[in-house]
Structure 1
Amino acid sequence: MQERIPRRTLLAGLGAGLVLPAAARAGDLAAAGWASARGGEGGRTLRVTTLAPDGPGSFRAAVEAAGPRKVVFDVVGVIDLGRKSIRIREPFLTVAGETAPSPGITFIRGGIQVESHDVVLRHLRVRAGRDGAPDRSGWEVDGITCWKAHDVIVDHCSIAWATDENLSASGPRFDGGDTVEAWRQGTSRRITFSNNIVSEGLSHASHVKGEHSKGTLIHDNATEVLIVGNLYAHNLERNQLFKGAVHAVSVNNLVYDPGTRAMHYALNAPEWEGRAWQVGQLALVGNVIKGGASTRPDLPFLIVEGQGDLDLYARDNRAAYADGRPMPELRVLPTTPLPKVRRLARPPLWPKGLKALPASAVEASVLATAGARPWDRDAIDLRVLRQVKDGTGRVIDDEKEVGGYPK
C-alpha cells in the first residue's frame, strides 16, 4: 500500500509542504480493493480550461462527455457550483486532479455524485458548505457520493463541510428483484475510498433534520466496499456507518474527534419492510480513534444497533479518549430482538493483495499521505492536520467558523 514516511518528515510537512515520491504525486498508491475501475484507460484526454461551473472547457462538460476519457486541468483555483452539484452518469472516467497547477482545484457550493461505473476520482477538494442557508432550510448536499454505482475509486481527495454525508456509497435498498443477490446488484458495490481527508461535516446547519454532521455512510446491501488509509476529523457521527447486510473492510483509518458515533453498524427493521434480515460482514483492522473536544465521554470503538446480526473480524484497532483512557471495544445497543455479533478468527472478506499497516504506524502514515495533493496542501487541510496532531478543534455548524470558503 503506502510508502512509510518518517514522523520527522511528516512534522516538517505539516508546516512547510511535504515532498512525496513521484508515485504518490501521481496518485498511484491507492489500494483498488475489489474495484476493477478502468477509468478512462485508453480513451481521449479532455482538458478543463475554465473555472466556470459549466459550458465549453468546464469540468461539468468534461465529465458529461461520452466514452472513455481522462480529465486533466489547465486551470487552478475554485469552481463555484452555485448549488448545482456535478452528476457523473457516463462511465469510463478518470479525473486527475494532480494535473492542475498549484495548489489545485477546489469545488464549493455543491458536490459530486457518481451514478455510473468505472470511475476514478483523485486529488480533488470538495467543500460544499451551508452557503448561508438558514437552519433546517433544506439545503442538503453531499461531498462525494456514489449512488447505485460500481467499480469506483475515490482516492486522495479532501472532502469537508457537507450538510449531508461527506463521503458515501449509497443507492436503493431493494432494487432489481426479490433476491438478496438482486438487491446487491441494484445498489453501490465494489467501491474503494482510499487516502482521503473527510472532515468537518456541518452539524446544526441547513439539513431539514437538524443535526447532521456525518462522515461516511455505506448503505444497506452495499458489498465489496474498502475504506483504507483515510483521515476522519470532526464528524459527529458516521465515522463510518455500515447499514444492514453491508459487506465491507475498513483498515488503517485514523478517526479524530468523533462525537456520538465512531464505527457503527445498524440494520433497522422498519427500513427492511418485512424482508428477511441478512447478516452483515465487517473486517475492521488497524484503525485508530483519538477522542477530542466533541467526543462523548463513554463512546466505544464500535456500536451495533438495530435488529440485524453481524459477522465481525476486529484486530489491532486502537481507540482512546482525549485524556488517554482506552475506549470500550464494542457496545450492542438494547433492542428487540437483540442483534448477535459473531466474532470471527478470520476476516469474512478481504481484498486480494491488501496488507495492513500495524496500528502503531497508522497516525504518522495517514497524516503524511491523506487528502488531496499531500505534497501541495492548502491552508484548510493543514489546519485540520495540525488539530489532529495537537488535539484541538471541534465539530462545527458553519464553514464561516473556520474561515469560510477559500478565495
Structure 2
Amino acid sequence: MALFAGAFFACAATAFAAPADPTHGGEGGRIVRVTTLAKDGPGSLAAALATKGKRVIVFEVGGVIDLGRSTLEITEPFATIAGQTAPSPGITIIRGGIDLKSHDIVLSHLRIMTGVDGQPKLSGWEADAFSTVAAYNVVVEHCSFFWAIDENMSASGPRFAGETVADWRRNTSHDILFRENIAAEGLADASHPKGEHSKGSLVHDNTTHITFYRNLWAHNMERSPLVKGGAQVLMINNMIYDPGHRAVHYNLMNLEWAGHDYVTGEITAVGNLMRAGNATAPGLPFLMLGGDGDLAYYGKDNKSVDRWGNPAPMFGRYGVTKARLIEKDSPMASLDGYAILPADQLETSLLASVGARPWDRAPDDIRMLFFVAEGRGEILDDEKVVGGYPHSAPTRAPFVEKDWNMATMTPRSGVYPGQKTGAQEKLSARDAAMRAAPRP
C-alpha cells in the first residue's frame, strides 16, 4: 500500500478543500529563522515563538528538539510555524509538548512525541502533546502527536470565565481548526496522577467552533474526541482506529457544573469512520453519552465497524443519568465549502495524506499508518515498547525565500525538502534485500 504519492499530496490542497481558515497566522510578517535544535536560547524555536509581531517561522535545521520534560508555550499572536520548510527529517519535539495560549496561529508539519520518559507511575508528569488554552483563530494542520500523558490534541481553557454563556465562550478556546493530523498512542498506565490516561482529544466545556477535518485518532483508550458541556464541534471525514473503551463521547458533568445552568452541547458529524482494533471493547458504539447535560446531534454517513468489518452500534451511553441525545434534522455547523468523501471511501485517502510531512515520513508515522492499514497495534503504557524516542542526526539547509510561495508556504518547484517518491515503508535489512531488484 502506498502511504504517500507525490501527485496526491501536490493536489491535496485543492482535492480536499475547506472554507476559509479562521486565520492566516503570520502571513505577510517578517521571517524568523530557527537555526538550532536547542530547547531555548538564540536561534531556537522557543525564541522564535516569543518574538513579538507578525512573523513566519521557518527552519534551517532538522532533527530533534528535546524539551527535557517541559512544555513549550506560545503566548505571542500572529505566527505561522512552517515545519515543512525544515530539511529532512523535519522537526520532532520530544519529552514535552506545546500549550498554545494566544491567537492567530498556524502550526504545520511538526511531530510531537511526549512520552513518559521513565517517570514512575502516578508520579505527576502529565503533559499534553498539544493543547490550546483559551486560544482562538488557530489552524493546526499536518502534525503528528504521539505518546501524550494527558491528551494528544486538544482545545481547552476555563469553563466559566465571565458572567454569561457568551462570556464563557468568548474567554475559552474558540474557532480552532484541526486538519490532517495524527493523534496516536496516548499512554495509558504511565505517570498521570489519575492513573490510566490514554486520551486522544479533549474539547473542553463551552469551547465553540471547534472543527476536526480529516484527522486520524489511533490507539487511544478514550476521547476521540471527548466533547464537554456546552461545546460546539464539527467532525468531517475523520477516522478513529482501535479506540479502547470510548470513541466519540459527550459529558456535561454535574460535579463540574454545580451552581451553573446547563448548556446543551452540539456535535455535527459527517462522513466519519470508526474501525475497531485489538484493544476495542466488544460492541463499542461510535458515540456515547454520559453526564447530565443534553447533546444536540446531527449525523450523516458515519460508519462504525468491528474488527471484522461488521456494523457496530452508532449510539450508547455510560452512566444512568438524565442526559438526552437530541437528534437534529440538519447540521448545526455549516458544511459549505468542504470537500467531503463518503465514509466508505475515506480510509485510503486519509492514510495517504494525514500527519506531518507525508512526502518525508518519520519511522513512527509509517509504523502507525501501516498498523492502521493492517489492523495491527495496541494501546501503550510506555514509548519504549515501540522503540522509544527518535535520535536522528541534525541536518542543516538555508531557507531561501524566493523558492517558496510565502502566502501558501509551499515550494514554488512543487518539491518539498526531503521529498520521496513511491511507497514509504520502514524495512529491515533482510526485507530490503529481498525486495531489491534481482541480479541479471
TM-score normalised to structure 1 length: 0.93
Which residue is equivalent to 1:206?
191
Provide the rounded CA distance (Å) in 2 between the counterparts of 1:77 and 1:317: 38
User: Counterparts of 1:7-406 in structure 2 under 5 Å?
Assistant: 11-13=1-3, 18-20=5-7, 23=10, 35-175=21-161, 177-336=162-321, 338-406=322-390
Provide the rounded CA distance (Å) in 1 between the counterparts of 2:74 and 2:277: 36
Q: What are the superposed Cα offsets for residues 19-52 of structure 1, whole Å, 9 maximum, x if unpaired?
A: 2456568x78886667521311111000110111
Q: What are the superposed Cα offsets for residues 292-320 of structure 1, whole Å, 9 maximum, x if unpaired?
A: 11000121110011011111101101111
Instruction: Give 3-state SS (helix, strand or coil) of 1:181's partner.
Output: helix
Q: Is the 8 A contact 1:282 1:311 kept in 2?
A: yes
| Greater mean deviation of Cα atoms: 257-266 or 33-42 | 33-42
TM-aligned CA distance change 1:360 to 1:163, over 3 Å:
same
Q: What are the superposed Cα offsets for residues 131-165 of structure 1, whole Å, 9 maximum, x if unpaired?
A: 11010100111011100000011000000001000
TM-aligned CA distance change 1:29 to 1:117, over 3 Å:
farther
Look up the equivalent residue of 1:36 and give its one-letter code: P
Give the aligned length: 391
Provide the rounded CA distance (Å) in 2 between the counterparts of 1:33 and 1:189: 16
Provide the rounded CA distance (Å) in 2 between the counterparts of 1:30 and 1:391: 25
Q: Is the 8 A contact 1:149 1:188 kept in 2?
A: yes
TM-aligned CA distance change 1:374 to 1:41, over 3 Å:
same
Q: What are the superposed Cα offsets for residues 179-216 of structure 1, whole Å, 9 maximum, x if unpaired?
A: 11000001000000010011000000000011000000
Q: What are the superposed Cα offsets for residues 72-105 of structure 1, whole Å, 9 maximum, x if unpaired?
A: 0000100001112110000000000000011200
Provide the rounded CA distance (Å) in 1 between the counterparts of 2:30 and 2:343: 41
Look up the equivalent residue of 2:247 and give its one-letter code: A
Gaps of 5+ in 1: 1-10
Q: Is the 8 A contact 2:9 2:358 kept in 1?
A: no
Q: Is the 8 A contact 1:23 1:29 kept in 2?
A: no
Q: What are the superposed Cα offsets for residues 367-398 of structure 1, whole Å, 9 maximum, x if unpaired?
A: 00000001110110000011101111100000
Q: Greater Rg, structure 1 or structure 2? A: 2
Which residue is equivalent to 1:3?
none
Which residue is equivalent to 1:6?
none
TM-aligned CA distance change 1:29 to 1:137, over 3 Å:
farther
Look up the equivalent residue of 1:220 and give its one-letter code: D
Q: What are the superposed Cα offsets for residues 260-315 of structure 1, whole Å, 9 maximum, x if unpaired?
A: 00011111111012211011111011110111110001211100110111111011
Cα drift, residue 340 of structure 1: 1.5
- What is the alpha-carbon root mean square deviation over aligned residues? 1.6
Provide the rounded CA distance (Å) in 2 between the counterparts of 1:369 and 1:322: 23
TM-score normalised to structure 2 length: 0.86
State the percentage of identical aligned residues.
Answer: 50
Q: What are the superposed Cα offsets for residues 306-355 of structure 1, whole Å, 9 maximum, x if unpaired?
A: 0111111011011111122321110133434x211111111011254223
Look up the equivalent residue of 1:339 and give its one-letter code: A
Q: Is the 8 A contact 1:257 1:291 kept in 2?
A: yes
TM-aligned CA distance change 1:76 to 1:37, over 3 Å:
same
Gaps of 5+ in 2: 392-440
Provide the rounded CA distance (Å) in 2 between the counterparts of 1:28 and 1:110: 34
TM-aligned CA distance change 1:351 to 1:222, over 3 Å:
farther
Cα drift, residue 361 of structure 1: 1.6
